[in-house]
Structure 1
Amino acid sequence: MIMSRSEAPPPEGTAVTGNLHDRPHDRLQDGLPDRPLDRLQDRLLAGLPAEAVLTDPDVTASYANDMASFCEAGAPAVVVLPRTVEQVQHVMRTATELRVPVVPQGARTGLSGGANAADDCIVLSLTKMDRILEINPVDRIAVVEPGVINATLSRAVNEHGLYYPPDPSSWEMCTIGGNIGTASGGLCCVKYGVTAEYVLGLDVVLADGRLMSTGRRTAKGVAGYDLTRLFVGSEGSLGIVVRAILALRPQPPQQLVLAAEFASASAACDAVCRIMEGGHVPSLLELMDRTTVKAVNDLAHMGLPETTEALLLAAFDTPDPAADLAAIGALCEAAGATQVVPADDAAESELLLQARRLSLTALEAVKGTTMIDDVCVPRSKLGEFLDGVAKIADDVDLTIGVVAHAGDGNTHPTVCFDASDEDESRRARESFDQIMALGLDLGGTITGEHGVGLLKKEWLARELGPVSLEMQRGIKQVFDPLGILNPGKVF
């Protein structure tokens, strides 16, 4: 189970876990009146419209999990869909009073189980809070609610000649709140950075329902501790983001893309090192291995070159992208590229980018289930990491495709397996652990942009070490003393 059960009453300051219907005696021993879950709906409806409170088990079950494999999910007591900050505050005040766990959710496109429900929890879905409140071309900021879809924001700011760079592969579905919760990246990270670099300020509803503002609207500021950065990547474990002030950039010129074929993944990684060492700043530098290329072709019939062992995509959004691509092409050839093909126009460039965005969906179609790693290693170790993953795939006798934000060393080894086959499932989990260990051995990190969630809790402890883990748990205690916010996740 995700959440542990105990016969003893929980000590003061700890989360109430397990089935609250079975715990009236425990709650009386806590000195609290019995508040079974059959009263929870009435308390929520006191501050929420009826359509915002879902209790039908068939409906609530559909909110139980995100897109991660090997992550158990509990059965929610209720799903709430607030539309205002005040409604979120009411939910959290109710949860604190009744000591009911709360699991915040966005579009549930996550890949680490971070949005999976706990037994008898309130699922707090923020998808209805989807307004873009302000776009300010002078200050170059956007103010948005957490349920705004990434692509919707991007298109809206483009109309003002502005650009919001973070663009995860799921950008047509994922929400800004979810992006903030996991500190998402995207294809453009190599030049423009990740979500954390664009979040200037937040409004956050705390566990007890209080509203706190962090950060600023200004271009710079150092007033107090940087609590904004603390919430970015916290996976809903410290508070509920209800508004975000996001930095924008001027819209760059249309980018052009180059595709380079290589006879080995290590040769493609050598090209990446040459590009970065040469001081080039591509707007995109992505890698797809042979397995991924074939999967995309099988799914979308895109005609990508399946004879290559690795396909490297590079792009520039500079005033003269053709010249920059020519320089990159020469470096690729020096690293052993068998063919270098620059796109002729924006349409051809977009086709190549669409192939990259389809990669994870295509790999899932290989066997029906995937387990997606999110290991980031130093760029100088990228080739060694990919060779290591290939060896792991041979050892466990499973298909493992690799796509990577090669420009920043963030890789997504994707294990393809039949979930109904017990032995394949065992080997998939074994390969996942081996890949995680390999990444740490090479000086990397267990997650570059997907978060820890349920999937990587054990590995987080290994990466952080006991002292850092103790400090982080202390921060959690300050913000969530009852342990009701996304319990069982991250730590």
Structure 2
Amino acid sequence: MTAAVDRRTDLMRALGGLAGDIVIDDPGIVAAYRRDESRFTEAGMPFAVLTPRSTDEVAACLRACHELRVPVVTRGAGSGLSGGANAVSDGVVLSLHRMNAILAIDPVERLAVAQPGVVTGELRAAVAAQGLLYPPDPGSVAFCTLGGNVATGAGGMCCVKYGVTGDFVEALEVVLADGRVLRTGTRTVKGVAGYDLTGLLVGSEGTLGVITEITVRLVPAPGPAATLVASFADLAAAGSAVAAITAAGVSCSAVEILDRTTLRAVDAHAKMGLGEAAAMLLEARRLALPALERLGDWLLDDVCVPRAEVVALIEAVERVAAETGLTIGVFGHAGDGNLHPPIIFDRGDADSVAAATAAFDAVTAAALALGGTITGEHGVGRLKATWLTRELDPVNASIQRELRRTFDPRAILNPGVVL
């Protein structure tokens, strides 16, 4: 028998009667769970996909994998862009898509409790029906899941006013690598007992545990939105306008930027007539990446700089595009300094691939040089694992590795991701 068959047999035995309900090993189905939406990231072939329906079943899966030292990659909707949900060979994918219930909405305490497989847009719609708002709204809000948002520390268009996912997570239920169940946080307005393990687990990308229940804070639903659209002669001028808005202290729910390349791609893709339909701006923003995909192969960056450096970052992106001869669009959350330059290239041309890699590295390096960070909301994943050690000082990196060993001493959770 092959090693994969041996692993499967051992895991099925360890799971006992539960195995027949949650283990998928059909090669065609398993292959569909290999990777997320990232580019330039490696993905192995898992020997099985585990599909638990409850915290107890997640715990049983992790106990078995811990005992057998089987690597586990946790997956939500697979909409990630950093390779954080890419499978590893000789391991399993733990898919949480069956854990998709909204467990409670409390309009008095302004809290919602949900399982990780709940689609973020569906949670937003459910709380809106009670006059409330869950503010985080990633561009993939219609299909990304709450668990994935928490695991990556996702952002979205309204971050400039409300904050990112982590600002709304009040409590978590998490299954550790050995199957123990941990509860963190409180459902009270205030609470400072002990270390902030909730904050530690948000953004941990499946390396410290598997999130099985999430309690999030809600806010009152805002009144009708007003949208202002302005066009500029060049990107630098647009960036200067963003800086002026920030300096004036204007409280905007979102401040987004789309360059000419992106706008033309969206208009060609969706036939919106954007020049005449300002109310469609936010929908156009959500369509930015799908529209740019039509221009060729793409590699999406995610960098964030201090808001005062947005103009400098835009200028750096334009220089990189000129130097490499590639089309690089600019869109993103200009109001909080988080841009997503998509690099368009030809995968069938080795020179074009090399140029895309060089452009990606140059934009990421420019963000660091401007006092920024290598990722604002997509996560480190596998795409930027080597970049993380450039951002972190040696002591910081060492402490993070020690924390990871404490939570996962056998190193089975998402190997190759983050550090």
Structure 2, unmatched stretches of 5+, are none
Q: 1:415 aligns with which of 326, 335, 343?
A: 343
Contact kept in structure 2, 1:41 and 1:78, CA below 8 Å: no
2:387 corresponds in structure 1 to 459
Asked if 1:366 is matched to 2:348, the reply is no
**Amino acid corresponding to residue 244 of structure 1 in structure 2:** I
Distance 2:273 2:211 in 1: 43
Whether the 8 Å CA contact 1:201–1:245 is kept in 2: the answer is yes
Find out whether 1:210 has 2:180 as its counterpart: yes
Partner of residue 434, structure 1? 362
SS of the equivalent of 1:275 reads helix
Q: CA deviation at 1:304?
A: 2.7
- Retained in 1: the 8 A contact 2:71–2:414? yes
String of CA shifts for 1:408-447, please: whole Å, max 9, x gaps. Answer: 0000011011222222111111100001100000000000
1:220-369 aligned within 5 A:
220-305=190-275, 349=279, 351-367=280-296, 369=297
Q: CA deviation at 1:45?
A: 4.7
Distance (Å, rounded) in 2 between the aligned partners of 1:421 and 1:223: 56
C-alpha separation in 1, matches of 2:227 and 2:14:
51
Instruction: Tell me if structure 2 keeps the 8 A contact 1:105–1:126.
Output: yes
Q: Please report how far the alpha carbon of residue 458 of structure 1 lies from its aligned counterpart in structure 2 after TM superposition.
A: 1.0
Contact 2:302 2:374 survives alignment (8 Å): yes
So what's the TM-score if we normalise by structure 1? 0.83
Once superposed, which parts of structure 1, at least 4 consecutive aligned residues long, lie more than 4 Å away? none
**How far is the alpha carbon of 1:41 from its aligned partner?**
4.5
Paired with 1:223 and 1:404, the residues of 2 have a C-alpha distance of 37
The residue aligned with 1:31 is none
Post-superposition shift, 1:219?
Answer: 1.1
Q: Give the whole-Å Cα distance in 2 for the aligned partners of 1:178 and 1:44.
A: 27
Q: 2:189 is matched with which residue?
A: 219
Secondary structure at 2:61 match in 1: helix
Which residue identity is paired with 1:461?
T
Distance (whole Å) between structure 1 residues aligned to residue 235 and residue 192 of structure 2: 43
Mark the runs of 5 or more structure 1 residues left unpaired by the alignment. 1-18, 23-34, 306-340
Paired with 2:146 and 2:74, the residues of 1 have a C-alpha distance of: 13
In 2, the alpha carbon distance for the partners of 1:461 and 1:86 equals 36
Larger radius of gyration: 1
For 1:152 and 1:255, how far apart are their aligned partners in 2? 20
1:21 counterpart = 2:15: no
Give TM-score, length-normalised by structure 2: 0.98
From 405, 411, 414, the counterpart of 1:483? 411
TM-superposed CA distance for 1:21, in Å, is 1.6
Number of aligned positions between the proteins: 419
Aligned residue for 1:375? 303
RMSD: 1.5
User: What CA distance in whole angstroms lies between the structure 2 residues aligned with 1:228 and 1:102?
Assistant: 21
Q: Which residue of 1 aligns with 2:83?
A: 113
Q: Distance in 2 between matches of 1:195 and 1:399?
A: 31
Partner of 2:132: 162
The answer (yes or no) to whether the contact 1:112–1:454 under 8 Å persists in 2 is: yes
* Shift, 1:72, TM fit: 1.0
Kept after mapping to 1: 8 A contact 2:79/2:140: yes
CA contact 1:400–1:415 (8 Å) conserved in 2: yes
Give distance in 1, aligned partners of 2:20 and 2:358.
46
- Structure 1 residues 388 and 130: alpha-carbon distance in aligned structure 2, compared to 1, 3 A threshold: same
Partner Cα separation in structure 2 for residue 402 and residue 190 of structure 1: 18
1:47–1:461 distance in 2 versus 1, CA, 3 Å: farther
Change (3 A) 1:38 1:80: closer
Deviation at 1:36, TM superposition (A): 3.0
Retained in 2: the 8 A contact 1:418–1:424?
Answer: yes
- In the TM superposition, what whole-angstrom CA distance separates every residue of 1:150-173 from its partner, at most 9, and x where no partner exists? 000000001111100000000001
Distance, in Å, in 1 between the alignment partners of 2:14 and 2:290 is 38
8 Å Cα contact 1:104-1:123 kept in structure 2: yes
Query: Partner residue of 2:312?
Result: 384
Contact 1:265 1:289 in 2 (8 A): yes
Conservation of the 8 A alpha-carbon contact between 1:106 and 1:127: yes
Does residue 446 of the first structure (1) align with residue 371 of the second (2)? no
- Could you tell me how far 1:55 is from its partner in structure 2? 0.3
Pair 1:61-2:17 in alignment = no
Q: Equivalent of 1:185, from 149, 155, 165?
A: 155
